């Protein structure tokens, strides 16, 4: 059985019409675009499907569009298969989508945080004093030597380690151009990104504390699976570290090659890129050709995954099921109620949900697409009888709704908790 990792790319993913097929064919994807529009105040469907190229490429818009499209595609995948990975990794902006996919951050909060990030980074962009460049056919040592030879140690930095032969550098315009020229003379390929701010470098220091203060106002949640951090290159699974990690993410290089090394270490055999086009898969193919790559935004790759999942019965066993997840949550949560008579009611609720689950299994009724309101009410009642703290109860319900793609259907119930 394959061991999967999910990939969420960042800048470079965007193009007009991205995500449109999912928007038109999956209600959950359309609802994702609608939620992004409501939270951001920006008509996301219009931006992605009918806007101009220049509007799409504005940094603040681009961030929100990529996040929305990737979560729409991820949720379409969950609707189809519902299988979680061993890890997720996002590149730059994509790390926010990875955190949403892992349940550590709500999509609405991610949109709000991303909008603030865009606002702060735009202050740097408005100064028009720095940019990024993609460097290929070079080594980190060659790049560092050119930075040193250009006396640019405090002005130019390696900002992305994308693969064994591709890097990004960020810096102030004059010094960066000198480094670019020297790299060209040494045989490297240089692709300046003049509209990209010098992100993932210390040149972003001036906005960091404001960003951290802003993120400290949000609640983050337990991870369903680890997200490999761009900042540390190691798995992140502690919600308390998210705000600080994403702040350092602004001023530190993206360590994507560390993620691919971890894939190898932990036996990841396949990746699914939750993107409208190939981007990170190409980097995986370069450094780890033994790993099979799929892109869920491409029809041919969706078909290959469908064949894979249908051919292996082990995948079907892992499909999230609304009733089954209710049972798992009831069993796994601690009982804090010493009243045995009340706890008997919890057992009775468990048996009633189990009966519904068995009935659905016998009749082959898919509950990921038809979640039952009565079961949710019973679960909430049972968790209250177990004397869960309100925050813990809400987290349990959030997990259930996320894992079964039922959040929009039961948003009113969740928000009332």
Q: CA angle, 202 as apex, 136 and 221 as ends, to 5°?
A: 95
CA torsion sign, 227 to 230 to 232 to 234?
Answer: positive
Active site residue 131: no
* Segments in 43-106 forming alpha helices (H): 44-50, 53-57, 59-80, 94-101
Task: Give, as one character, the DSSP assignment of residue 254.
Answer: B
- Residue of 101, 159, 196, 200 with catalytic role: 200
For residue 399, CA distances in Å to 75, 84, 95, 102, 404 come to 14, 13, 20, 10, 9
Which DSSP state fits 258?
A: H
Contacts of 262 (CB under 8 A, 6+ apart): 87, 228, 233, 234, 235, 268
Backbone angles phi, psi at 377, to 5 degrees: -60, -40
d(CA 32, CA 106): 12
Tokens representing 193 are 């990104």
Residue 3 CA to residue 1 CA, distance in Å, equals: 7
Tell me, yes or no, if 200 is annotated catalytic.
Answer: yes
Angle at 405 between CA 327 and CA 280, to 5 degrees: 120
353: tokens are 């949900």
| R_g over Cα of the chain | 23
Tokens linked to 100 = 């949403």
Nearest to 190 by CA among 176, 172, 204, 175: 176
Look at the alpha carbons of 11, 13, 14, 15 in this order and tell me if their dihedral is positive or negative: positive
Which of 141, 161, 245, 153 has the alpha carbon at shortest distance from 203? 153
Check 92, 155, 163, 229 and give the catalytic one: 92
- Smallest CA-to-CA distance from 15 within 244, 276, 219 is with 276
Q: Which residues belong to the active site? A: 92, 200
């Amino acid at each position: 059985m394959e061991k999967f990792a999910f990939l969420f790319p960042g800048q470079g993913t965007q193009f007009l019409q991205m995500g449109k097929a999912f928007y038109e064919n999956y209600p959950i994807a359309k609802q994702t675009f609608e939620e992004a529009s409501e939270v951001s105040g920006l008509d996301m469907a219009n931006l992605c499907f009918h806007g101009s190229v220049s509007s799409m490429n504005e940094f603040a818009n681009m961030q929100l569009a990529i996040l929305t499209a990737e979560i729409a595609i991820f949720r379409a995948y969950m609707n189809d298969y519902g299988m979680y990975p061993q890890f997720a990794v996002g590149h730059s902006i994509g790390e926010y989508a990875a955190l949403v996919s892992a349940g550590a951050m709500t999509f609405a909060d991610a949109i709000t945080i991303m909008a603030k990030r865009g606002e702060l980074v735009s202050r740097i962009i408005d100064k028009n004093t720095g940019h990024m460049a993609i460097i290929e056919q070079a080594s980190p040592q060659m790049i560092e030597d050119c930075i040193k030879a250009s006396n640019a140690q405090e002005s130019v930095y390696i900002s992305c380690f994308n693969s064994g032969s591709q890097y990004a550098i960020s810096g102030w315009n004059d010094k960066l151009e000198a480094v670019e020229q020297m790299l060209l003379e040494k045989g490297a390929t240089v692709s300046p990104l003049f509209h990209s701010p010098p992100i993932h470098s210390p040149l972003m220091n001036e906005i960091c504390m404001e960003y951290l203060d802003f993120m400290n106002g949000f609640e983050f949640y337990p991870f369903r699976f680890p997200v490999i951090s761009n900042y540390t290159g190691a798995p992140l699974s502690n919600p308390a570290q998210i705000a600080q990690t994403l702040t350092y993410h602004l001023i530190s290089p993206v360590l994507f090659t560390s993620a691919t090394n971890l894939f190898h270490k932990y036996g990841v055999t396949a990746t699914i890129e939750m993107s409208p086009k190939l981007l990170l898969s190409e980097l995986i193919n370069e450094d780890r050709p033994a790993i099979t790559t799929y892109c869920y935004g491409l029809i041919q790759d969706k078909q290959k995954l469908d064949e894979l999942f249908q051919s292996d019965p082990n995948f079907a066993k892992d499909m999230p099921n609304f009733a089954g997840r209710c049972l798992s949550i009831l069993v796994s949560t601690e009982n804090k109620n010493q009243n045995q008579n009340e706890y008997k009611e919890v057992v009775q609720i468990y048996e009633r949900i189990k009966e519904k689950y068995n009935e659905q299994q016998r009749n082959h009724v898919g509950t990921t697409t038809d979640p039952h309101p009565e079961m949710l009410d019973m679960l909430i009642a049972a968790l209250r009888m177990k004397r869960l703290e309100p925050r813990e109860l809400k987290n349990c319900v959030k997990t259930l709704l996320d894992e079964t793609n039922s959040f929009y259907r039961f948003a009113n119930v969740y928000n009332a908790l």
